[in-house]
Structure 1
């Protein structure tokens, strides 16, 4: 199956060399390229633009499931990908084909004319071009990083969404929650409604202030809509009334809030109650407390429960910890690999109470991987028993030898999760 992907892989590798920095937040290069492509960003179906630190992908997946249940054709753009680049671009419900992706990238590369541009900018332009040239009812755009200067922030949205904001990517977005919230709130547009998920006060104050300046109506959690778990059901309420729904199929208590934001979007768009139920029961989003059911890892530990999660910041650590606390008792061992740009101790600290050990690994093929021993040192610093392994398979085998019925949580990075899915998907 690898051969058909070579065309786009070659182009993607070439595009990586067009800018010395992987991340360089600016809209100037993006606007220049889109003008050369005859402005596909101006020819999109109604856009729902989604920013936030945690929950963007899950919220988008639930919105898409709901809209598609109502018979709508939906474009969706997300990042990063896990197993293959094509996951980032879903055209009218289907992953972009290899031939289509190669053609789009060729056109974007030609239009760019060798000018400096980041990989994310040129691939975002390819997605917008695909979406402009295929009819659909809605376009879902997930922000890559921040919001104000993110490459996706070149559109005129019909609706904005800001999921929970927390500390992450400080080197690009600022050191305080208020500064980071300001970057996320940069997607707000004059007069365009925005659904706001649960926020800390410092973040909400910034979002509300910008919304007021722009006359952008907010639909905020705790004010305009409420969501909670009651008697193993999800209960959502807003001015339109109450919904009593099954719990989200995506595992974890934090998915309640993500589901609430998705439901608020669907209600704003006039979706049916059937669509709202489909949003929580049909959404698919890999590497979010995902149980692995096949592959070499499962073969190596047949009596273990192997779970994969791509969360990588302190808020994700808290969410995973809460999920583990609700799961049936079982000896839990972590296999963790992280990037050197992350708050490793902040991520691991909430997990320490639930893990009997942590085995650290480096992330294969990632220049910014944290050395396994550094991750292990951070784990010891928050009170965990820790060791290192050559790779995930070796770590799983060692855990299974000592504790055959273990719960093994592979965690710490979407890049690590992608590697695991490619080999065990």
Structure 2
């Protein structure tokens, strides 16, 4: 895909406007009004917030709706390799990433409407989402929150078909607060009076209580994981249960036990949004769902060719302690089925709890290679990251790149081919996919 036109537009925005987040709805609301309030002209919206699992829920929701024959728009963030990944437009046979010319023209229109006013690039690109989704026909729109909820630029949708709150834990404390109940309150900001709410599996009872109390205060039909719906494994299958009964389904294509709960939240959300999902459609969705960069089996490419022969290589962009726990659990499941020595290649940015992420892998990982995160100015130096891994009880050493780590393994490895996890940052995941020549499509 040619990306030059859209990239040029975004680069010009980056030069004019501040990077990062400035949590407020005033600027985005003003801009959307100049554009004719496209957010008020969308198909039914599934709006998804949470600390972890948002992207997986979006992927499952898309798979379910498309398996049922619906035309679906999807907005997710951040992207891994190309900005276009954030905008999947509905199409017969399954959504497609936005065409570069259409994307560039829409960015230019939004930037012109902004008239040079102070605004963040994320807000402009969120306005692009609403304009694209309002101008192309679809039967549903899945929109993932960027950061938090209450003041996220996506939170200008007055009447979502359903608001979904996935697992809440500590992350982005500088913006959202340093206690889980404060973060839960920010995520709950996407809940709208009288609109259905689906609450995914929560690790914290405190967070769950905040979410339920908010939904009750706003008189929302509420569906809570573990109370109104759930999923469990039985005989190698996934069983989904709610008030309508049971669905016996194949296990989700996305690996890890946590994906059972993510899939269940998506089924509940799609149903709460008013769509019927047949058993056959749910079966197809579990078998076809895809979500790049999250416990993704890395396909053959330029990087994987550098690894020890027969190595089992996984990529995951999870970057906080909660993500570390579910990834470690997924790898422990792999270990039970097919034992192999596990090596971690990790890069992280300085706004994340590095030691907390590494602690999840104690007793599981044989060795850690720490690498720089070249795509982020906030990348932790690889020697400093190795210290954090050591403090978490792991054996670790810094190397210059993922390629160097793979070649070191190849040249020194003796015995059963290893299982390798490359993780710790979505920036790192994107760089790996690009270097491997396997960008999302």
The alignment status of 1:320 with 2:322, answered yes or no, reads: no
Q: Give the Cα–Cα distance (whole angstroms) in 2 for the partners of residues 337 and 133 of structure 1.
A: 39
Q: Give the Cα–Cα distance (whole angstroms) in 2 for the partners of residues 39 and 234 of structure 1.
A: 41
Residue 201 of structure 2 corresponds to 198
The alignment status of 1:371 with 2:381, answered yes or no, reads: yes
Aligned residues: 423
Range moving further from structure 2, 267-276 or 336-345: 267-276
Residue 21 of structure 2 corresponds to 23
SS of match in other structure, 2:256: coil
Residue segments in structure 1 that go unaligned for 5+ positions in a row: none
> Does structure 1 retain, via aligned residues, the 8 Å contact 2:19–2:121?
no
CA-based RMSD: 1.1
Q: How far does the alpha carbon of each residue in 1:16-37 deviate from its partner, in whole angstroms, 9 at most, with x for none?
A: 2333341111101100110110
Residue 81 of structure 1 corresponds to 79
The alignment status of 1:61 with 2:59, answered yes or no, reads: yes
> Does structure 1 retain, via aligned residues, the 8 Å contact 2:73–2:133?
yes
The alignment status of 1:102 with 2:104, answered yes or no, reads: yes
Residue 6 of structure 2 corresponds to 8
TM superposition shift of 1:263: 1.4
Q: Give the Cα–Cα distance (whole angstroms) in 2 for the partners of residues 266 and 6 of structure 1.
A: 36
> Does structure 1 retain, via aligned residues, the 8 Å contact 2:166–2:200?
yes
Residue 427 of structure 2 corresponds to 415
**Alignment counterpart, residue 314 of structure 2, candidates 307, 330, 354:** 307
**Alignment counterpart, residue 290 of structure 2, candidates 275, 284, 291:** 284
Q: How far does the alpha carbon of each residue in 1:364-385 deviate from its partner, in whole angstroms, 9 at most, with x for none?
A: 1310101111110011001111
Q: Give the Cα–Cα distance (whole angstroms) in 1 for the partners of residues 391 and 185 of structure 2.
A: 33
Residue 244 of structure 1 corresponds to 248
SS of match in other structure, 1:296: coil
Q: Give the Cα–Cα distance (whole angstroms) in 2 for the partners of residues 421 and 365 of structure 1.
A: 12
The alignment status of 1:295 with 2:301, answered yes or no, reads: yes
The alignment status of 1:341 with 2:345, answered yes or no, reads: no
SS of match in other structure, 1:351: coil
Q: Give the Cα–Cα distance (whole angstroms) in 2 for the partners of residues 265 and 365 of structure 1.
A: 34
Q: How far does the alpha carbon of each residue in 1:73-127 deviate from its partner, in whole angstroms, 9 at most, with x for none?
A: 0010000001111000011111100000000000001000011111111001011
Q: Give the Cα–Cα distance (whole angstroms) in 1 for the partners of residues 209 and 241 of structure 2.
A: 23
Residue segments in structure 2 that go unaligned for 5+ positions in a row: none
Residue 114 of structure 1 corresponds to 116
> Does structure 2 retain, via aligned residues, the 8 Å contact 1:54–1:163?
yes
Residue 384 of structure 1 corresponds to 394
TM-score, with structure 1 as normaliser:
0.98
**Alignment counterpart, residue 47 of structure 1, candidates 42, 45, 56:** 45
Q: Give the Cα–Cα distance (whole angstroms) in 1 for the partners of residues 222 and 17 of structure 2.
A: 37
Range moving further from structure 2, 385-394 or 260-269: 260-269
**Alignment counterpart, residue 267 of structure 2, candidates 263, 267, 273:** 263
Q: Give the Cα–Cα distance (whole angstroms) in 2 for the partners of residues 403 and 202 of structure 1.
A: 46
The alignment status of 1:139 with 2:146, answered yes or no, reads: no
Q: How far does the alpha carbon of each residue in 1:337-371 deviate from its partner, in whole angstroms, 9 at most, with x for none?
A: 00000000111101121111100011113101011
Residue 215 of structure 2 corresponds to 211
SS of match in other structure, 1:383: coil
**Alignment counterpart, residue 362 of structure 1, candidates 356, 367, 372:** 372
SS of match in other structure, 1:26: coil
> Does structure 2 retain, via aligned residues, the 8 Å contact 1:333–1:399?
no
> Does structure 2 retain, via aligned residues, the 8 Å contact 1:89–1:95?
yes
Q: Give the Cα–Cα distance (whole angstroms) in 1 for the partners of residues 44 and 125 of structure 2.
A: 20
Q: Give the Cα–Cα distance (whole angstroms) in 1 for the partners of residues 293 and 431 of structure 2.
A: 11
> Does structure 1 retain, via aligned residues, the 8 Å contact 2:18–2:121?
no
